[in-house]
Structure formats: structure tokens, C-alpha cells
A and B are shown apart, each in its own frame.
Chain A
Amino acid sequence: MTAVSIDSAPKTAARRRERWASGRTYISAALIFIWCLIPFYWMIVTAFRDVGYTFDSTPFFTHVTWDNFNTVFSESLGNHFGRNLLNSLFVAGVTTLVALLFGVFAAYALSRLEFRFKFLVLGFVLGASMFPGVALVTPLFQLFTNIGWYGTYQALIIPNISFVLPLTVYTLTSFFREMPWELEESARIDGCTQGQAFRKVIMPLAAPAVFTTAILAFIASWNEFLIASQLSNDQTKTVTVAIAYFAGAQAHQEPYTAVMAAGTVVTIPLVILVLIFQRKIVAGLTAGAVK
């Protein structure tokens, strides 16, 4: 009896310390959780709140209405949000496709082949991705005005490629570096032709990497504001620009609830995408940073 109690005394102390440590972890985790999600939650609550209760501080859904979403899409108020959405979708979609098309080959070479100036190329790509957008906007503004491209889709897609393509090359290179390429050789030895090996072994292996990179590229392009705000007109305006300069029902009055509704429309698809592919996106974001 006595022996047991002497033995268990430090054990309970250790257990208590452990429980305290895990309790602290949960408290910290809860704090991070709240800090990250509360503003987002507040946007959704406001998006569904009657405009007369804009500044109501009740922390849950009250005075719920769809009116704000109607305002967002109301052509009579001069909001062409549907069109803005399509513009963003088109610009981000084409940018992503072009960046992938060019990026996949470059990334394959950078990750798989030995050649001179490899680090120079990687350095150029990395430097390009850190390039300030304003340094492009000024000359492009004049150039596009001169050749009549101001307010066209290519005027938005071309500058977007300048930061999406480096991102694509960089992320894909890190992904490709980790892929088990020996399998291609094994498939060849087992009697596959080069084409078969590519289709049946490499493609399924590379598809998740390419897909993840596509998501990152799309989000980067979708969220772009500076270039779009300077080089788009009413016809090609993207959602981020539309939200920044939203027109409400009353002039000179910030249409908070409608803007929050617009923000919700733009953000919800991204958040769903991010939650589904959480693991892959984290891998893509951090690829290359630790090596």
C-alpha cells in the first residue's frame, strides 16, 4: 500500500502537469480559431442583416434577409456584379491555364534535368514573383492606352501572368522534385512504351500537384486588385474592384451590408475550395520554403 502511494505521487503530479499543458494548448488553439474566423463570421452575419440594423451588435443572426444580395446584383443601382464575377472567372481562369501550360514544362526541366544556369533561372523566376505590381502598371497603362487595349481582357491577363507564372513554376518545381520518378523507369522496364509510362504512371502522380498549383494560381489571380483597378473599365471590371467601389442605394452612404454580401459571394467558393483541399494547399504554399 505505502509503496504504491509513494510511487503514484510523482505520477499524478506529472499527469496534472500534462493535463495543464494540453489544457493550455486547447485554450491557445481556441484563441487562434476565434481570431481567424470571427471577422469572417461577422461578414456573413452582416451580409444577411437588414440594412436598417447595419450597426446592430448582436453577435448572432438577427433580422435575416436576402435583400443585400439583391442589391449586389441589382442592375438598376448600377451594380453589374454578375458581369464582374464572370470577368474575374474568365481572367483568373485564362491566367491559370496559360501559367500552367508554360509552367509545367519549365518546372519539369528545373526539377528533373541537369543544365547550366539552373539557379540563375530559378533566381529569375523567384525574383519575378516578388516584383512590385506598380512597376508594371505605369508603363502598361500607357502602352495599353496607345494600342487600344485599355479595358480589354488581355490587358488584365498579361500583367496577371507576371506574378502567377513564377508562382506556378516555383510551386510545381518543388512538387516535382519530391515525386517518385523512378516509377517511370520501372514501368518502362516492365514493358510500357514511353507514352504509356507517361499516361499511366506520371500523369496520375503529377495530377494532384498540377491541380493544387492550379488552385493556388487561380486564387492569386482572383484576388488581384491593383492591376485590375487601373487597367479595367466598366466592361472588364473584376469582382475585387467592384467591391472596392460599390454603389449603394443612397449616394454618399457606405452600403456596408451590401458590400458584406458581395464579399460573402466572392469568398464562400474560395473558402469551400480551401477547406476541401486544405492539406494539398498547405503543402503547395509551403513547398520549397523549407528546402
Chain B
Amino acid sequence: MSTLAQPKRAPETPSPKTKKVQKEVGQDRAATSQGRWAFWLISPALVLLAVVIVYPVVNAIIMAFQKDQGLDPVTKVFVQGGPAGFDNFVHWLAQQCGSAACAPGTLGAQFWSAVGTTFFFTAVTVVLETVLGFWMAIIMARTFRGRSALRAAVLVPWAIPTAVTAKLWFFIFAFDGIANKLFGTAILWTGSEWPARWAIIISDVWKTTPFMALLILAGLQIIPAEVYEAAKVDGASAWQRFTQITLPLVKPALMVAVLFRVLDALRMYDLPAIMTQGSNGTTTLSILVVDQIRQGFNSAAALSTITFLIIFLVAFIFVRFLGANAVASATPKTTKGQDK
């Protein structure tokens, strides 16, 4: 994945070749020594990252092309292992077990529903968190007594471990729990499909909206107050000020926050794993991988590779879309401002 800043900043830094031409010999030597220093300072961290990330990932990819030992589900013949080609990937993508379709209820039959669930959770939580987070950020950006108390309070859900959050909301959404009592309902929250999904979504929104709000708040705070004053003098309404000034100026920070949240939501595991164990249509891709691990490493490795590729693809589309959009939204707005 490339940096978010890359498309914007790349043109500013001249390529090393032109630098060499422009600079004198002494400066060139200084640059080389800086480069050497940088190499020695950064390599330990990069090597460590390579060991803890790249090695397992390469390992997973190799595993994904191996057969799992065990009985073939169709022919009931013991499979020794050995190269599998793309069989493991076909198994998940086509939901094929051996030569037949996977029986309903088996892990193999759940791939596409898990993809659907994961994307559903991601879309709903990120939209809710963006809207709510924006509102929270606007309130927190105002000056009033108790503002710092509010900012501290907002950090509490963020600091609570997700596992604890899951248990806390599991208790709130228990059948005899406070949620049913408060609303006078008798819903089996974690025991039926849509209530279970909403219980997970509400927990996730509670836990992560503060993070979103703080990122958006940071974006709001770099907008100079004079811009609003000028717009007010020009007679812009509150809504106009929001859509014409706040939104475009906060957009870069907002997009980064949304990207972070989308990538985080796509690997959602803790909340559904603890609240419903993936039952009632709440199995996300991460849960499916973990369930598969004990039924066959190689097949699980194929699934985790697919999951990784899906997340990578979403990130790639997002950065592309984001980069294009940031440029597009910045250019016409400034010309419009000059016209006035």
C-alpha cells in the first residue's frame, strides 16, 4: 500500500537524479551521508517488520497452495497433502468441497455470506461513525465550559479493550438486560439475526466513534476562524458555511479517518466473536479464518490470503479514489472563491 501523502507530495521532492545535477559536490556528500545514516537508523525497524509480517505472509501464501491432510469430504479417502494448485482458493471462492458444492452449515459454504456480512458491518458502522463523529467533533470544537471534560469523556470508550466492550454490551443486550427494560422490549438481541447484527453495530459505534470524532476535530481545528468570519460577512448561512467551507477543508482529514476505519472494520473480529461467536449471520471473514485454522491450516491460509487481498484491494481503491477526489475538490473551490 502506498502512503496517502504520496500523490500530493511526490511532485515537490525532485528526483534524486536532478538533485545530483543541481547540487554541488559537498552537498552531495552530505546527502549521501544522511542517506547512509537513515539507512542504519531505519533498517532495524524494517528488518523487524519484515520478520514479523513479511515472513508469515509469504509462509501463508506457500501454505495456501498445499493440500490439507485429512479425509476427503466426498470420496472419504485419506489425503496426504502435497501441492494443491489453486484448489484451496477454488474451495472458498466457488464454495466447492471436493467435486461437489459444500454442504450448508459447513465453513466452506459460508465464504460469500461472510464477505457480505463483513462489508455490511463495514458500510453501516463507518457511515454511522462518520456522521456521529462529525457531529461530536463540531460540538467539541466550540468553546464552552467543560469542553476539556467532554474531550476526556470521549476517550473513555476508546480506551476500553474491545473484549471488555463486547462483554459490557453483551450484558446490556442480555434478555433481562437494561436495553430491553429501557425500551420495554423483549428482544433476544444476541440470539436472532438482525438484532444480533444491530447489537454488534451499536457496540462498535459506541467504541470507535470517539476516535473518528477526534480525527475530524483535529481537521476542524486547522481551519482558520477568519474564513468563517469572512463568509459570515458575505452573508453565507450556517448551512452554506458548512457545505462550502467546513466540508471541503476538513475533507482530507476526514478521508484519512474514514480509510482507517474502513480497513479496521474489514478485519472486525473481537465484537462478533465474543458477543455471538459468529452465529446468527454475524460471521465475518476474520471469524471464518479463525474457525478454519483448527480444521486445516492450508485452507485457512488460503482464506486469510483472500481476506488480505480483499482489504488490500479496498485500500487501493480508496487511496486512488481519495487522491483523485482531493485534487478535484480543491481546484474548483479555490477558483470559485477568487471569482467572488
Contact = CB atoms under 8 A, between A and B. Distances in A.
Interface of A: 22, 25-26, 28-29, 32-33, 35-37, 39-40, 42-43, 46, 54-55, 57, 98, 102-103, 105-106, 108-110, 113-116, 118-128, 130-143, 158-159, 161-162, 165-166, 169, 219, 222-223, 225-226, 229-230, 239-241, 243-244, 254, 256, 259-260, 263, 266-267, 270-271, 273-275, 278-279, 281-282, 285-286, 289-291
Residue among B3, B147, B150, B177 facing the most chain A CB atoms (10 A cut-off) = B3
The DSSP consensus for interface residues of chain A is: helix
Given A124-B46, A285-B214, A36 B157 contact: yes
Contacts of A291: 5
Contacts of A133: 267, 269, 286
Shortest Cβ-Cβ A-B pairs, 3 listed: A127-B1, A286-B218, A106-B45
Contacts of A230: 290, 293
B161 A266 contact: yes
A25 B153 contact: no
Contact of A110 (B42, B151, B273, B307): B42
A130 B159 contact: no
B164 A267 contact: yes
A55 B161 CA distance: 23
Contacts, number: 293
A243 B168 CA distance: 11
B305 interface: yes
Interface string B118-144: 000000000000000001100110101
B4 interface: yes
Nearest to A158: B52
Contact of B297 (A136, A141, A274): A141
Nearest to A130: B263
Interface in B152-172: 152-164, 166-172
Contact of B253 (A130, A140, A289): A289
Contacts of A225: 161-163, 269-270, 273-274
Given A138-B60, A263-B168, A290 B222 contact: yes
Q: Which of B1, B149, B263 has the most CB of A within 10 A?
A: B1
Given A25-B139, A132-B286, A55 B37 contact: no
Interface in B215-250: 215, 217-219, 222
Contacts of B308: 131-132, 135
B34 A289 contact: no
B49 A57 contact: no
B171 A132 contact: no
B39 interface: yes
* Of B45, B217, B219, most A-chain CB atoms within 10 Å: B45
A134 B289 contact: yes
Given A106-B44, A222-B161, A290-B218, 16 more contacts: A25-B142, A32-B153, A57-B181, A113-B35, A119-B10, A124-B49, A132-B267, A133-B267, A134-B286, A135-B56, A138-B289, A226-B270, A244-B163, A263-B167, A267-B161, A282-B218
24 contacts: A25-B144, A32-B140, A36-B210, A39-B206, A57-B178, A102-B48, A108-B41, A115-B35, A119-B5, A121-B46, A123-B2, A124-B49, A131-B308, A134-B285, A135-B60, A137-B293, A158-B52, A222-B161, A225-B162, A266-B164, A270-B160, A274-B155, A278-B152, A290-B218
Interface in B1-49: 1-6, 9-10, 16, 31, 34-35, 37-39, 41-42, 44-46, 48-49
A57 B183 CA distance: 12
B72 interface: no
A130 B314 CA distance: 12
B97 interface: no
B307 A55 contact: no
Contact of A134 (B44, B49, B176, B267): B267
A114 to B, nearest CB: 5
Contact of B155 (A126, A263, A278): A278
Interface string B287-307: 001100100010011011101
B93 interface: no
A40 B45 contact: no
Given A230-B293, A282-B214, A33 B150 contact: yes
B251 to A, nearest CB: 11
A118 B15 CA distance: 12
